[in-house]
Amino acid sequence: MVGNYPVLAKSGGGYVWDDVLEYGYCAPLMMELPIFTMDNDYFFSFESYEDALYFSQHNSGTENPLALILQEEYIDNPDVGHCVDVKESRIAE
């Protein structure tokens, strides 16, 4: 399903996740071969970190790759000092 996940994801995946879905990064609009467009950036997705890292290192203007992850359970922090254990699926970076 690489490349089929939503471009926008929750931030702050933390240190615990159940699965890595894909690796990707954003690049400026001047880049070629877009998979998704988001604001003024193109988003590219890859099956492996190594492929995403290689592409980002060999194309100027790209960011370091991020992992898109699936969390089946996570800790929400709605207020300072208030943590909530949430048991539902979410996709985060």
pLDDT band at residue 39 using 50, 70 and 90 as cut-offs: low
Cα(76)–Cα(86) distance, rounded to whole angstroms?
Answer: 7
Q: Is the Cβ–Cβ distance between 4 and 21 less than 8 Å?
A: no
Q: Is residue 71 part of a domain?
A: yes
Six-digit token string for 61: 């203007």
pLDDT band, very low/low/confident/very high, at 41 (cuts 50, 70, 90): low
Range of the structural domain that residue 78 is part of: 19-92
Res 50: pLDDT: 92
Digit-coded pLDDT (tens) for 15-31: 777 888 888 866 654 44
Has residue 7 been placed in a domain?
A: no
Question: Scanning the structure block, which residue is given the tokens 């400026």?
Answer: 28
Domains held by the chain: number: 1
Whether residue 34 is contained in a domain is answered as yes
Residue 8 lies in a domain: no
Has residue 11 been placed in a domain? no
Task: Let me know if residue 54 belongs to a domain.
Answer: yes
Question: From the CB of residue 43, how many other CB atoms can be counted at a distance below 10 Å?
Answer: 18
